[in-house]
Amino acid sequence: MNLADLNKIAEAMVMPGKGILAADESSGTIKKRFDAIGVESTEDNRRDYRELMFRSTEAMSNYISGVILYDETIWQKAKDGTPLVEVIAKTGAIPGIKVDEGTKPLHNCPGELVTIGLDKLADRLPKYYAQGARFAKWRAVIDIGGGKPSHTCVMANAHALARYAALCQEAQIVPIVEPEVLMDGDHDIDTCHRVTEWVLKETFQQLYYQKVALEGIVLKPNMAIAGKKSAKRASVQDVAEKTVRLLKNCVPAAVPGIAFLSGGQSDEEATAHLDAMNKIGGLPWKLTFSYGRALQAAPQKAWSGKAENVAAAQRAFAHRAMMNGLASLGQWKQDLEKKAA
């Protein structure tokens, strides 16, 4: 493992003013998104949609530091025959790859899941590296409610995340460590804060046991935020302050940066929360975004599977990328959204 090189990539992934595009939706997830806009989820349509984002020069060059790809996409070629990883690299963004293989029910823990895919990961990583991937992603999901999460679930997922991270670094690939506490329930922000603190502390303990070099990772956590079904909503400032306090209590300063997931927040919500955190300032790590839906919902709707809509979709993508780029600097303002409308 060359830690200096891993650190250089990790630092580039959280470069001020830029963030990570999560374009790694599974076949099932992207089908749901395409169904919503009336587009058939074929291999060509998936490629065309993702290619329009990767060729959005303004967005990619100015605001996107890296792109997380699905296994299908990393091997695909653009319509003109150029490998998509080359299209991405030409913009200055770093290609990455989702390496987990989804989730399975966790034995003896009703309603809880564990992420799988470790068994052949050591064999897969060198192939991804040869294809151009310089970072990877592994997502663990933790649910709140009905006695969840259990100690077993938190431990099992934290251990798997740490094993994955160690294997990535051995293959000279920067691991994005993504423990996601879901916002699907009716819990309030304080419950989310408490559970996320537990999950992050356990994750970093497991990273230590697996001898993962923190200088060569990027953390992708949820924010401290109330569940979608909660009657008690928290203000933007409350989310920012509680999330920053949570991170300061859990995340060592050696970590180069934190790239938040949007986790079901609206586009503007995700941007406003990130901006408010960066306005607090005085943080030991960079705070940026690694958004999927919060970057893509607008361009997907604008595109709707029609070639004549590609330019409009690229404008929508560039706008959301710019808004989040500004938020990563603490320079976003609400009226910038109105000007673009």
Residues 259, 263, 267, 270, Cα dihedral to 10°: -50
CA 37 to chain centre: 23
DSSP annotation of 9 reads: H
178 is catalytic: yes
DSSP three-state, residue 5: helix
229 is catalytic: no
DSSP annotation of 185 reads: S
Instruction: Report how far residue 144's alpha carbon sits from residue 146's, in angstroms, rounded to the nearest whole number.
Output: 7
**Catalytic-role residue among 25, 51, 112, 178:** 178
Nearest alpha-carbon partner for 264 in 292, 241, 243, 300:
292
Nearest alpha-carbon partner for 93 in 336, 325, 305, 268:
325
Instruction: Report how far residue 235's alpha carbon sits from residue 233's, in angstroms, rounded to the nearest whole number.
Output: 7
**Catalytic-role residue among 18, 137, 220, 242:** 220
Q: Are 173 and 125 in contact (CB under 8 A)?
A: yes
One-character DSSP codes across 252-298: -TTS-EEEE--TT--HHHHHHHHHHHHHH---SSEEEEEESHHHHHH
The type of residue at 82 is T
Kindly give, in sequence order, each residue whose CB lies less than 8 Å from that of residue 163, ignoring residues fewer than 6 positions away. 118, 210
Kindly give, in sequence order, each residue whose CB lies less than 8 Å from that of residue 286, ignoring residues fewer than 6 positions away. 14, 15, 16, 256, 257, 258, 328
Instruction: Report how far residue 131's alpha carbon sits from residue 332's, in angstroms, rounded to the nearest whole number.
Output: 36
Q: Are 99 and 128 in contact (CB under 8 A)?
A: yes
Which are the catalytic amino acids?
178, 220
